[in-house]
Structure 1
Amino acid sequence: MIKLQNVEKVYRTSAIETLALNNINLHVRKGEFVSIMGPSGCGKSTLLNIMGLLDAPSQGQVEIDGSRVERYTDKELASMRNQKLGFIFQSFHLINDLSVMDNVEIPLLYRSGSAAERRRLSQEALEKVGLSNRMKHFPKQLSGGQKQRVAIARAIVGKPEIILADEPTGNLDSAMGNEILSILQNLNQEGSTIVMVTHDDAMAKKTHRLVRLFDGTQVS
């Protein structure tokens, strides 16, 4: 599903060169729920961004669902992100001036389809995360856990095969964090492939496989 071979990421300025990822080899198979752990600054988010085609490696190969992407144009990469990938972020990234329904619809605006179809799919996604009664609310009217559930609905509204979650429980208390993890587990059981960056060892142990990074290097 996601295959990284000899992936390296170097950030360069005029004064310094920083090796963020070093010789990463990782294969996430269809239907897996994989967690990525490591200390702050070890390259977790950089790795997730490369998996999500938001950044390109300095060296190495990235393969998504059997397709090598290094020669893809920006337009082709954007299309693959929209069709195959769903993103969940720690800080939600909701638009406060839009209703819950309108926030969830955003990925569908880049696809062909009627307004009625967008509404149907958005309502279906919100029902899946238990927020069908909040469709007309605005983000400022929601709790942190509800905001994250809206973000999950937005990530799954286009029915992506892969969900990439960057610290999805990081801004939540333990009870709400467990609720969010339960939603992700249900999505995985329904067939979604999930990669989750987390600092929470208890959360990571509930996934299929744990990948540990240290100073940009894969250590397990």
Structure 2
Amino acid sequence: MITLKNIEKVYRTSSIETLALNNINLDIKKGEFVSIMGPSGCGKSTLLNVMGLLDEPSKGSVQLDGQPVKQYKDKELARLRNQQIGFIFQSFHLINDLSVLDNVEIPLLYRATNGRPRRDNAQEALEKVGLSNRMKHFPSQLSGGQKQRVAIARAIVGNPNIILADEPTGNLDSAMGNEIMNILQDLNNDGATIVMVTHDEQMAKRTHRLIRLFDGTQVL
């Protein structure tokens, strides 16, 4: 599904060079639920961005379904992200001026999906996360857990094969965090491949496999 070979990521400024990822080799198989852990600043989010084709590695190769992504142009990469990958962010990234339903529809707008099917798919995604009664609300009217469920609905509305979640329970209390994990596990049981960055050992134990990073290096 996702294969990383000898991945290195270096950030450079005029005065400093920072090695964010160092010789990362990973193979995420179809249907896996994998967690990534490590101290703050160890490269977890950078690794997730490389997997999600948001950030290009300085060295090494990324393969999606056996195909090297380096061969694709920017428009093709954008299409791959839109059609195959769903992103869940810790800070939700919802648009406050749009309703819950409109927020969830956004990925389908980039696919030029027609109005009625787009709305039907967004409503179905919200039903999956238990928010069918909040479709007309705005983000400011929701709790943190509800906002995260909207973010999950937006991530899954296009039926992606891969879901990348960056600290999806990080801003939530333990009860709501467990609810979010239950939703992610249900999505995984339905066939989604999930990679999740987390600081929570208990959440990580609920996934199939744990990857640890330290100072940008994979801990074996």
- After TM superposition, is the score higher than 0.5? yes
User: Residue in 2 aligned with 1:155?
Assistant: 155
Give per-residue Cα distances to partners, 1:67-88, cap 9 Å, x unaligned. Answer: 2111211101000000000000
Counterpart check, 1:82 vs 2:57: no
Distance 1:155 1:141 in 2: 20
Give per-residue Cα distances to partners, 1:31-50, cap 9 Å, x unaligned. Answer: 00000000000000000000
59-68 vs 86-95, which moves further: 59-68
1:66 deviates by 1.8
62-71 vs 198-207, which moves further: 62-71
User: Residue in 1 aligned with 2:92?
Assistant: 92
Query: What are structure 1's unaligned runs of at least 5 residues?
Result: none
User: Residue in 2 aligned with 1:172?
Assistant: 172
Q: Equivalent residues in 2 for 1:41-60 (5 A)?
A: 41-60=41-60
Give per-residue Cα distances to partners, 1:96-141, cap 9 Å, x unaligned. Answer: 0000000000000011321000000000000000000000000000
User: Residue in 1 aligned with 2:22?
Assistant: 22
- Look up the equivalent residue of 1:190 and give its one-letter code: D
Distance 1:113 1:213 in 2: 39
Distance 1:215 1:113 in 2: 42
Q: Equivalent residues in 2 for 1:2-151 (5 A)?
A: 2-151=2-151
Distance 1:98 1:113 in 2: 18
Query: What are structure 2's unaligned runs of at least 5 residues?
Result: none
Distance 1:33 1:113 in 2: 29
TM-score, reference length from structure 2: 0.99
Alpha-carbon RMSD: 0.5
Distance 1:72 1:20 in 2: 24
What SS does structure 2 have at the residue aligned with 1:78?
helix
Give per-residue Cα distances to partners, 1:175-196, cap 9 Å, x unaligned. Answer: 0000000000000000000000
Paired residues in the alignment total 220
What SS does structure 1 have at the residue aligned with 2:5?
strand
Runs of 4 or more consecutive aligned structure 1 residues displaced over 6 Å after TM superposition: none
Distance 1:132 1:176 in 2: 18
Give per-residue Cα distances to partners, 1:11-56, cap 9 Å, x unaligned. Answer: 1111111110000000000000000000000000000000000000
**How much identity, in percent, do the aligned residues show?**
79
162-171 vs 108-117, which moves further: 108-117
Distance 1:65 1:85 in 2: 12
1:157 deviates by 0.1
Distance 1:113 1:45 in 2: 30
TM-score, reference length from structure 1: 0.99
